Amino acid sequence: MKFIHTSDWHIGRQLHNQSLLDDQRFVLNQIIELATEHSVDAVVVAGDIYDRSVPPANAVALLDEVVNRLVNELKIPLIMIAGNHDGHERLGFASRQMNDSGLHIIGPLTKDVRAIELNGKAGGALFYGLPYADPATVRQVFGCDVSTHEQAMAKLLEQVDEHDSKGLPKVVVSHCFLDGGSESESERPLSIGGADKISPKLFTPYSYTALGHLHGPQYKGAEHVRYSGSMLKYSFSEQHQNKSVTLVELDGDGKASFELLPLKAMRDVRIIEGELAELLELGKTDINREDYLMVRLSDKTAILDAMGKLRSMYPNVLHLERTGLMRENGKVELNRDHIKKGELDMFTDFFSQVSGETMTEAQQQAMSAAIDELHKAERTS
Amino acid sequence: MKFIHTSDWHIGRQLHNQSLLDDQRFVLNQIIELATEHSVDAVVVAGDIYDRSVPPANAVALLDEVVNRLVNELKIPLIMIAGNHDGHERLGFASRQMNDSGLHIIGPLTKDVRAIELNGKAGGALFYGLPYADPATVRQVFGCDVSTHEQAMAKLLEQVDEHDSKGLPKVVVSHCFLDGGSESESERPLSIGGADKISPKLFTPYSYTALGHLHGPQYKGAEHVRYSGSMLKYSFSEQHQNKSVTLVELDGDGKASFELLPLKAMRDVRIIEGELAELLELGKTDINREDYLMVRLSDKTAILDAMGKLRSMYPNVLHLERTGLMRENGKVELNRDHIKKGELDMFTDFFSQVSGETMTEAQQQAMSAAIDELHKAERTS
């Protein structure tokens, strides 16, 4: 049994108000190609299929395309569970009518955790898709008393344990936060104060656990308890992560081996730093200048329309930080006092950029007087 | 071939801010029972499945229940098309993965109008589900030049005509506005100025046309070109309509016969009129006092908390009109001048209701002076 484990597609997500739909289509097509190339028996998506409980219509249309390619055209079974970003009812609509087609969507949590039996070219496996469920949901569905995420998960896994495997390896698909996991900025916490943490030990008894939620690929507790990570970098904090899907192979004894298959983004997400002139010069030979960029400008002078100038070279600058204008103590925000103190200095920079000349002393005095007038008027109004 | 034709479920709709989900579940269960009782070969829903393109999660869950009952448990094929209220992409997600189960959802318009062949106990039929599509959509999908709804529909029907029926009767399922159709207040117009009107003649060549959009059951052009009407009264203007589903039977020659199967609402939607005291008295023996009511009060005096008093007897009063306080010319709105003129009169009514006594002349004069003072203050402020 050979399958691709991926998660956190977040279809429909934006990065600093920039739609990523084309980037998502690009990388989803790679996942489809990898599935074909490696002749996998299934693709497993461990939650956060969409970014929001009400995804935009074009996100739904993109997922529909992907599903049709994989399930209808390539006949590769697809298992998807709802994550904490997904609308469980919406994602799970009519899922029972899809199962025979090879599309298995697990939306709202139900009392009976269903085993999905898939037959691979070299042996079968049982997949247990556990949708994201907080303790309150588990209490309500099972009428039991659980108060932490760990207790809730243990309750769900009881069902997996009770199920007769008939000698097949068991694969758990889950969306949760394992204790010790490394977080990124683009994840939405499952709860406040660490009550969402689950011991990795809960999952070590199974042949493989395909996890979603954390956006960096990693394993916890044992190598076969893994997060595949998201398919794209969804925050600048992820600039140094390598995104991939996990190719999992179960041998006859249900022992898993893994390989990370790298994903190439249409546009990378990264941070560049330096002075404006220097960055504009570098851009001329930067073949990846269409990447999504956060720019940290170290210039210590005011710059007229810095964003416009940067975008003329790097069209997808999404965020700009003026690190050169920040205080020595490293505070990121420009504060009001700081701006006030430097009005004359800032105007001097502005003047020289617009006119190409330096202000004369007389001009500086006139400007200084004008600023004083304005402050007086502000105080008395 | 015997099937139930219904439409305009509008699941998730509210009536004057009152959720109708329980009422909708009640009547949907009746439709399921009627389908069983009459051993139908299919159920056809001609659009406006949901009320909004983004239905609430509990509306999605209700439709999921209905689909599971009909398709999974009763094995009755279900055909649904998107209406003008539905989100085509959302409704149509993964529809290709459902077809084998007997669930046929036609969401976004595609270039190929698909024939759904169903085999009934006494012969088969071809169903052509045409989702609601305005001329702009048809132009875009087919790359053709159509400007009216009628031309757009003719374009879609070309495909139906070209399809080889292999001797089976053709049934068209469509969501549109036929010229001469009777409207209700709860329909959202498809376009302004009548450009949405389609001649019924377009549909007469087919064995049957199952229409949605108009909320009153009716046929146009020929008896076999029919609107089933909505499953519930969605406005007070529909108080005198009888809601039903249409049972359609096609004989060996493809000739259709019909029967309207009445639907009973959990709570009726109706208007009652009279003086408050009289209505409260009548309520005591009204076994349907939990109906959704619009009340037209003919009292000519001000009444303290008329809504509260009415609701103590009729818990589901949704709207109150004070017809007794309206001008003789029949204007419905209370206008500002009218209210101003009667301040003293209104206070007099209020006083007597609260104190149980009539105001003395001295009290009236004091009140009158106070009102004058207020007006003076209002003018000078």
Q: Which of B67, B159, B76 shows the shortest CA–CA distance to B119?
A: B76
Res. B140 pLDDT band, cuts 50 70 90: very high
- Chain-centre distance for alpha carbon A66: 19
Structure tokens at A380: 């008395």
Q: Considering just the CA atoms, what is the radius of gyration of chain A in Å?
A: 26
DSSP B45: E
pLDDT of residue A354: 72
Between A326 and B81, where is the model more confident? B81
pLDDT of residue A348: 77
pLDDT of residue A192: 67
pLDDT of residue A381: 61
pLDDT of residue A342: 67
Strand order in the sheet with B256-262: B103-106, B78-81, B42-45, B2-6, B244-250, B256-262
Residue from the list B58, B90, B98 with its beta carbon closest to the beta carbon of A60: B90
Interatomic CA distance for residues A174 and A213, integer angstroms: 9
Superfamily of domain B2-262: Metallo-dependent phosphatases (3.60.21.10)
pLDDT of residue A336: 47
Residue from the list A64, A93, A102 with its beta carbon closest to the beta carbon of B60: A93
Interatomic CA distance for residues A88 and A109, integer angstroms: 8
Instruction: Find the chain B residues whose C-beta atoms sit closer than 8 A to any C-beta of A.
Output: 53-54, 57-58, 60-61, 63-64, 67-68, 71-72, 87-90, 92-94, 96-98, 100-103, 105, 108
| Chain A residues with CB-CB distance to B60 below 8 A | 89-90, 93
Interatomic CA distance for residues A314 and A278, integer angstroms: 13
State the average pLDDT over residues B104-121. 94
Instruction: Decide if B64 and A94 are in contact by the 8 Å CB cutoff.
Output: yes
State the average pLDDT over residues B154-179. 94
Q: How close A57 gets to chain B, by Cα (Å)?
A: 6
C-beta of residue A375 within 8 angstroms of C-beta of residue A341: no
Instruction: Decide if A90 and B87 are in contact by the 8 Å CB cutoff.
Output: no
- CB-based burial of residue B237 (10 Å sphere; 0-12 exposed, 13-18 middle, 19+ buried)? middle
Q: Which residues of B335-371 are buried (b: 16+ CB within 10 A; e: fewer)?
A: eeeeeeeeebeebbbebeeeeeeebeeeeeeebeeee
Contacts 24+ apart (CB under 8 A), B14-18: B15/B234, B15/B235, B15/B269, B15/B292, B15/B318, B16/B292, B16/B318, B16/B319, B17/B318, B18/B292, B18/B316, B18/B318
DSSP A325: G
- CB-based burial of residue A191 (10 Å sphere; 0-12 exposed, 13-18 middle, 19+ buried)? middle
Interatomic CA distance for residues B93 and B107, integer angstroms: 8
| pLDDT by position in tens, chain A (length 381) | 999 999 999 999 999 999 999 999 999 999 999 999 999 999 999 999 999 999 999 999 999 999 999 999 999 999 999 999 999 999 999 999 999 999 999 999 999 899 999 999 989 999 999 999 999 999 999 999 999 999 999 999 999 999 998 899 999 999 999 998 888 888 888 876 667 899 999 999 999 999 999 999 999 999 999 999 999 999 999 999 999 999 999 998 899 999 999 999 999 999 999 999 999 999 999 999 999 999 999 998 888 899 999 999 999 999 999 988 875 545 544 444 444 446 777 787 777 777 777 888 888 888 888 888 887 777 766
Q: CA–CA distance from B21 to each of B80, B124, B289 (Å)?
A: 19, 35, 19
| Chain B residues with CB-CB distance to A96 below 8 A | 68, 72, 101
Q: Considering just the CA atoms, what is the radius of gyration of chain B in Å?
A: 26
Instruction: Decide if A89 and B53 are in contact by the 8 Å CB cutoff.
Output: no
Tell me where in chain A the CATH 3.60.21.10 domain(s) lie.
Answer: 2-262
Answer yes or no: is pLDDT of B191 > 80.
no
Interatomic CA distance for residues A174 and A360, integer angstroms: 68
| Residue-wise DSSP of A84-106 | TTS-HHHHHTTGGGTGGGTEEEE
Instruction: Decide if A89 and B54 are in contact by the 8 Å CB cutoff.
Output: no
Q: How close A64 gets to chain B, by Cα (Å)?
A: 6
Res. B376 pLDDT band, cuts 50 70 90: confident
Structure tokens at A274: 């330096």
Structure tokens at A210: 């395909």
Look-up: residue for tokens 């556990």?
Answer: A130
pLDDT tens per residue across span B339-375: 444 677 777 777 777 777 788 888 888 888 888 888 7
B297 phi, psi to nearest 5 deg: -90, 125
State the average pLDDT over residues B290-314. 93
Interatomic CA distance for residues A245 and A257, integer angstroms: 14
Q: Which residue of A has its CA nearest to B75?
A: A97
